């Protein structure tokens, strides 16, 4: 273990390798699935909070903050709000408990110290704190696991930082001699059950996919296939259509392959790929323009961050924030 990871903390007794384990971009994965759906004809509504449900014979109407949405079937994959929507369909079978996970993100200079994911023995609460490289070239430490009541509490905490410092230093003490770039927190939709809650009410034409937590990124495609079987058994025609568009090829925002600013031929064809907007992450004006011309363009700066990594580096937007905001206002127009 110490030959593989020289900076590993003292006291490790044994290790288990996972040869097939990989790291991916969680932002791009979900955006790719949404883009594929839109290109296949789905209508995507953002910022449409469900305020009520009217179930009628053969279909349901969702009252939302962006108007009514009608559907023959409704699939509830509402995460932190899944139990509330489930109650609108007359069920009271589970409660979502928001479980906060906080992360520390270290500067790119620390990346050589972490050649692979370093994880202590998991506990009954989950996998615990890990030290992991990211595809963006930096290092992540976390997450915490804290049950809350507030489903909007995505702020970081002093207690969370102290916990991560203690656990992280035990795994890799020398890492904490370097700079932390940013801290983040997110909420997992934990429920009062040990497993996922996937169920179908054929009479109401209603399906529930609840309590998935962070493992949904790995299991999402398998869950979808399982749900398709349930829908097929309930009488819905799930025959795959023909002449569908090819799956989308998403822009590369990781460091494993050539980025636009490194591609001389691409820059020669379009100089905007050589015009740097974010120097920390080497994001170009051409990439930002492409994001706004994509099937699902960003609606705000957070969306632009997730598509391009702009403002996500060491300075956290101090240098490029105003420029990025200007490009958001003009929807990526370049001169």
- The CA distance from 185 to 312, in Å, is 15
Domain 48-92+198-233 has CATH 3.40.50.300: no
Asked if 226 and 96 touch (Cβ cutoff 8 Å), the reply is no
Please check the confidence at residue 334 and state whether its pLDDT lies above 80: no
- pLDDT tens figures, 45-96: 999 999 999 988 888 999 999 999 999 999 999 999 999 999 999 999 999 9
Question: What tokens does 7 get?
Answer: 């900076």
Where residue 43 falls among pLDDT bands split at 50, 70, 90? very high
All CATH 3.50.50.60 domain ranges of the chain, comma separated, are 48-92+198-233
Distance CA 196, CA 213 (A): 9
- CATH 1.10.10 residue ranges of the chain are 260-329
Q: CA–CA separation, 268 vs 18, rounded Å?
A: 42
In whole angstroms, give the CA distance from residue 53 to residue 67. Answer: 12
> What class is the 260-329 domain?
mainly alpha
121 pLDDT band, cuts 50/70/90, is confident
* Domain 97-191 in CATH 3.30.1490.20: no
Contact between residue 156 and residue 183 where contact means Cβ atoms under 8 Å apart? yes
Q: What is the model's pTM? A: 0.91
CATH 3.30.9.10 residue ranges of the chain are: 97-191
């Amino acid at each position: 273990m110490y030959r593989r990871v020289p900076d590993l903390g003292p006291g490790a007794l044994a290790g288990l390798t996972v040869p097939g384990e990989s790291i991916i971009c969680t932002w791009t994965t979900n955006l790719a699935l949404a883009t594929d759906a839109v290109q296949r004809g789905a209508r995507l509504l953002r910022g449409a909070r469900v305020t009520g449900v009217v179930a009628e014979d053969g279909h349901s109407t969702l009252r939302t903050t962006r108007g009514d949405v009608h559907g023959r079937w409704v699939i509830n994959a509402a995460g932190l709000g899944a139990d509330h929507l489930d109650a609108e369909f007359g069920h009271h079978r589970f409660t979502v408990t928001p479980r906060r996970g906080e992360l520390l993100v270290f500067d790119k200079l620390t990346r050589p110290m972490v050649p692979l994911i370093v994880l202590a023995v998991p506990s009954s609460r989950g996998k615990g704190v890990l030290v992991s490289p990211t595809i963006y070239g930096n290092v992540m430490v976390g997450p915490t696991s804290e049950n809350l009541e507030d489903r909007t509490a995505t702020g970081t905490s002093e207690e969370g930082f102290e916990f991560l410092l203690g656990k992280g230093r035990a795994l890799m003490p020398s890492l904490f001699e370097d700079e932390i770039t940013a801290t983040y927190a997110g909420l997992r939709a934990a429920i009062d059950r040990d497993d996922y809650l996937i169920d179908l009410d054929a009479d109401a034409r209603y399906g529930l996919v609840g309590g998935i937590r962070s493992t949904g990124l790995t299991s999402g495609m398998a869950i979808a296939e399982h749900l398709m079987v349930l829908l097929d058994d309930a009488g819905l025609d799930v025959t795959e259509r023909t002449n569908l568009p090819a799956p989308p090829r998403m822009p590369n925002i990781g460091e494993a392959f050539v980025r636009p600013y490194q591609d001389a031929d691409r820059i020669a064809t379009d100089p905007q790929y050589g015009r740097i907007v974010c120097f920390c992450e080497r994001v170009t004006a051409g990439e930002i323009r492409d994001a706004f011309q994509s099937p699902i363009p960003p609606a705000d700066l957070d969306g632009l961050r997730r598509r391009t990594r702009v403002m996500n580096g060491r300075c956290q937007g101090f240098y490029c924030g105003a420029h990025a905001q200007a490009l958001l206002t003009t929807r990526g127009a370049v001169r």
